[in-house]
Structure 1
Amino acid sequence: MRGGTVTVVGGSIAGCAFASAAARAGADAVTVLERSEGRLADRGLGLCVHDDRAAELTAAGTLPPGIAAHRLARRRWVVRDPAGPAGRVFWDQPFPFHSYHWGLLWQGMREATPASVDYRHGVTVTGVAAADGGDRAEVHLADGGVEAGDLVVGADGYRSVVRRAVSPDSRPDYAGYICWRGNFDARRLAAVGEEHWPSEAVTTVCFEGGSCVVYRIPGPDGLRVNWVLYAVPPPAAGLRLDDPTSFPPGRVTAELAVGLTALLDHAFPPYWARVLALTDPEDTFVQPIYDLETAPITAGRLLLAGDAATVVRPHNTSGAAKALQDATAFEAAWRSAATWDEVLHGYRSARGAAGRELVALARRLGRAQVERTPPWSTMRPGDAHAWWQDQLGGAPGIGGQAMCPATAAQDPRH
């Protein structure tokens, strides 16, 4: 099928991927409506993509080559131990991933978006609706304008406006715990030493009621350290937990900061507490954890993508890969279809169950690594491997699954 007009709500990684896919597949016109007026490239969060998923997505043309990435190979699970300041490594696990800086990944995706795409900043979408008896769709804007077209893609994240039209009763559920996030210039590690931490290693610091993942990512000016700390119970310091929200970088309250310092002092090996303490307040934020599986990911001429379709807890390390796989499946469905109904059916068939499986796996990982943590201090490699397999519950690994048989299967140890 060729022709038609597509409006993509949301211009982040998923939005750029879907806009590019629609343009390549032959749309007459593609418009991206991004609410932010600022530079998305300034967002400094880290993320990881499994090597097999990256190879698959690059081959499909969805992940542009040449975007800065840092190679990771091992994941070391560490628990506090009196014998050493860096704790005891109780499991050394293969981890075939590359890490990315969110802003640099978005910038690469944006630069690869075809020039024919009309990408607009500073546009707020207030709602979407069917038009022309369901054969078209309308996007309603805060300034009173209306964009009409053949298809609307909701790539507008976990608070999706488009999701409210596709599945009005679906909203993210609070998981019962929060995560702290932070990042800083890796050159600061000179103050605490790097002998405990090879460049290709991810460290997971384990403690009762939570865990913390620490790894390096590429940055605009060299390597940075990125960390994500999950903990229960949540701090009682003004967090609103009944609606998806966060304390953005630079707005963490003094009470929250004191709580983080107390947790590091009490639960972390001293070395890793000093590592996280290198983070500036303006690069630290708090995010309650939510998840969501939306049964219908299409309705009429509306389609949900990335986090708008499913909100997956970060433990699965699959968010970016999932969004790019969604776009890959969308393009494949378009190229093999003769009508819009066939495009939407093909996309639903390819991605509906995949999203639900990711949510289920991430819930198991969250229970095991945060909500119901094991006796970390007594664990040995054999115990850890069996514990990990129980979390996977038959899934081949974390990081998302292959989209086609031709892609190499993940090692079940990952």
Structure 2
Amino acid sequence: MAAVRDRLHVLVVGAGVGGLAAARGLAARGHRVTVLERAPALTRVGGHLGVQSNAVLALRALGASAAVEEGGVPVERFEIASWRGRRLAWWSPGALGREMSAPNVTVPRHLLLTALRDAALTHRDATELVFGAEVREIATVDDGTGVTVRTADGRSFTGDLVVGADGVRSAVRRLAGLPGTPRTAGYLTWRGVAAARPPATGPHTARHYLGRGRTFGHWPLPDGRTYWVATRLRPEPALGAAPAGPPDPADLPPRVRDLVAATPADDLLHTAVDTVEGCDTWHTGRVVLLGDAAHAMEPVTGQGGAQALLDALALATALAGVGAADGPARLGAALADYAATRRGPARKVAEEARGLGGLHHLDNPVAVRVRDTVLRCTPHSVWQRRAALRLDERELLAAAAPAGRGTAPEAARR
């Protein structure tokens, strides 16, 4: 670890899952971190998240898992069903969680962000959160020894490295001249929280209905509530455009229409689904990307947050021995190691998500029947294997877990 007097000063742009995780990981390894967030505060907006076992292990390695594990509802069983409710496939996240000694839970997004923020601020002498800071310019210091970020309100922040964790429309990616273009996934999404449980569904069961160009998924929450997500193909894709109002009942499976109707308007979000394509280079000079800024993916696998957490761990691990006095060559080599570790695995997850997004939103009735038949005929053991952690994630989690915390390494050796 770099000595305190020689630590890096890292400017993290974005206080989402990836940015706060990076702040915690870097501060825990001796670096100084300033997080720049354009929003005025860490708000409660953002719905809920499925935190799968690999994400829980990453949170443990960051020392930020306790509130998430305690505040989430475990998902024991995940089912895929036809639009009318016939089961097509299932697997057990609960069994995988027991194998990995880490549960699969559903939590409010703000709970996860608060846990990461609190973990980062345990290093109060090394971590600063600055809100209302919209990044407008990134410039290398004249002698090449640092980098300066300027915000819309005229403030300047100078450090040794800028981390772009600012999402699909990353200002850091654009200002640094790194490749990557936002694109629409071709469908719209609605998210809501209902104070009820779907009919004929256990308290620890999640279910995903597949229709013609439409899907509907629901996950258990505390106190008998339910988190749900509805999607449908958009007739004329337009980047960033969002639907207005609640979903049309005709776009919902018959079994859950009452559930959606019971959702308060204040608990309803509607957004477009956009991803990033062509981001083949993740760093240049003193700038590096992570999370959605590098590989925003369709949400069908529930892995967007987990992959951002793994990015943050890999970056903190790569920079563990780098100091401010080491110069650009040493820093560049560490950033290259980080990118080499994470680019391939994240791309695979993003490609899988894109393929599943297309499969889930098939609109041709013949193709839909074929899809449902293939899903129904696929053995349960195949689905269970697909849900298992990848070896590269286990190795990363084992390497990143802090000394004295055996959970992640022990799970990774299984």
TM-score, with normalisation over the residues of structure 1? 0.81
Verify the 8 A CA contact 1:397 1:410 in the aligned structure 2.
no
In the alignment, residue 244 of structure 1 is paired with which amino acid?
G
SS in 1 for 2:187: strand
Moved more, 144-153 or 160-169: 160-169
Rate the CA distance shift 1:281–1:401 in 2: closer, same or farther, 3 A: farther
Verify the 8 A CA contact 1:53 1:321 in the aligned structure 2.
yes
Q: Determine the C-alpha separation between the residues in 1 that align with 2:52 and 2:160.
A: 34
Pick aligned residue for 2:90 from 89, 92, 113? 92
Give deviations 1:274-332, integer Å, cap 9, x for gaps.
Answer: 11221122322322222224111111100111111111100111111111111110111
Q: Determine the C-alpha separation between the residues in 2 that align with 1:363 and 1:398.
A: 19
Deviation of residue 133 (structure 1)?
5.0
Which residue of the partner structure matches residue 186 of structure 2?
Answer: 176
Pick aligned residue for 2:216 from 192, 212, 219? 212
Alignment pair present for 1:200 and 2:204: yes
Verify the 8 A CA contact 2:55 2:309 in the aligned structure 1.
no
Rate the CA distance shift 1:381–1:169 in 2: closer, same or farther, 3 A: closer
Deviation of residue 168 (structure 1)?
4.7
If each structure's helix is expressed as a fraction of its own residues, which one has the higher value?
Answer: 2
In the alignment, residue 260 of structure 2 is paired with which amino acid?
L
Which residue of the partner structure matches residue 84 of structure 1?
Answer: none
| Structure 2: gaps (5+ residues) | 95-103, 399-408
Q: Determine the C-alpha separation between the residues in 1 that align with 2:177 and 2:135.
A: 17
Deviation of residue 59 (structure 1)?
4.4
Alignment pair present for 1:295 and 2:280: yes
**Could you tell me the percent identity over the aligned residues?**
26
Alignment pair present for 1:149 and 2:159: yes
Verify the 8 A CA contact 2:194 2:259 in the aligned structure 1.
no
Which residue of the partner structure matches residue 312 of structure 1?
Answer: 297
Show structure 1 runs of 4+ deviating over 6 A: 398-401
Alignment pair present for 1:47 and 2:49: yes
SS in 2 for 1:90: strand
Rate the CA distance shift 1:398–1:312 in 2: closer, same or farther, 3 A: farther
Verify the 8 A CA contact 1:292 1:359 in the aligned structure 2.
no
Verify the 8 A CA contact 1:128 1:161 in the aligned structure 2.
no
Which residue of the partner structure matches residue 64 of structure 1?
Answer: 65
SS in 1 for 2:148: strand
Which residue of the partner structure matches residue 316 of structure 2?
Answer: 331
Rate the CA distance shift 1:158–1:74 in 2: closer, same or farther, 3 A: same
Give deviations 1:181-232, integer Å, cap 9, x for gaps.
Answer: 22233xx44xxxx5511111001122112211111235xxx45311111212
Which residue of the partner structure matches residue 101 of structure 1?
Answer: 108
Verify the 8 A CA contact 1:292 1:310 in the aligned structure 2.
yes
SS in 2 for 1:374: helix
Q: Determine the C-alpha separation between the residues in 2 that align with 1:77 and 1:341.
A: 44
Which residue of the partner structure matches residue 232 of structure 2?
Answer: 231
Q: Determine the C-alpha separation between the residues in 1 that align with 2:296 and 2:386.
A: 20
Moved more, 42-51 or 331-340: 331-340
Verify the 8 A CA contact 2:178 2:282 in the aligned structure 1.
no
Deviation of residue 111 (structure 1)?
1.2
Q: Determine the C-alpha separation between the residues in 2 that align with 1:378 and 1:332.
A: 43
SS in 1 for 2:180: coil
In the alignment, residue 102 of structure 1 is paired with which amino acid?
R
In the alignment, residue 75 of structure 1 is paired with which amino acid?
F
Pick aligned residue for 1:279 from 248, 263, 271? 263
Verify the 8 A CA contact 1:79 1:377 in the aligned structure 2.
no
Q: Determine the C-alpha separation between the residues in 2 that align with 1:101 and 1:400.
A: 26
Rate the CA distance shift 1:378–1:302 in 2: closer, same or farther, 3 A: closer
Deviation of residue 39 (structure 1)?
3.8
Alignment pair present for 1:347 and 2:349: no
| Structure 1: gaps (5+ residues) | 82-86
In the alignment, residue 72 of structure 1 is paired with which amino acid?
V
Q: Determine the C-alpha separation between the residues in 1 that align with 2:83 and 2:239.
A: 34
Deviation of residue 66 (structure 1)?
3.0
Rate the CA distance shift 1:378–1:49 in 2: closer, same or farther, 3 A: closer
Q: CA RMSD, aligned part only?
A: 3.0
Verify the 8 A CA contact 1:77 1:90 in the aligned structure 2.
yes
Rate the CA distance shift 1:130–1:371 in 2: closer, same or farther, 3 A: farther
Instruction: State the aligned residue count.
Output: 373
Q: Determine the C-alpha separation between the residues in 2 that align with 1:100 and 1:134.
A: 43
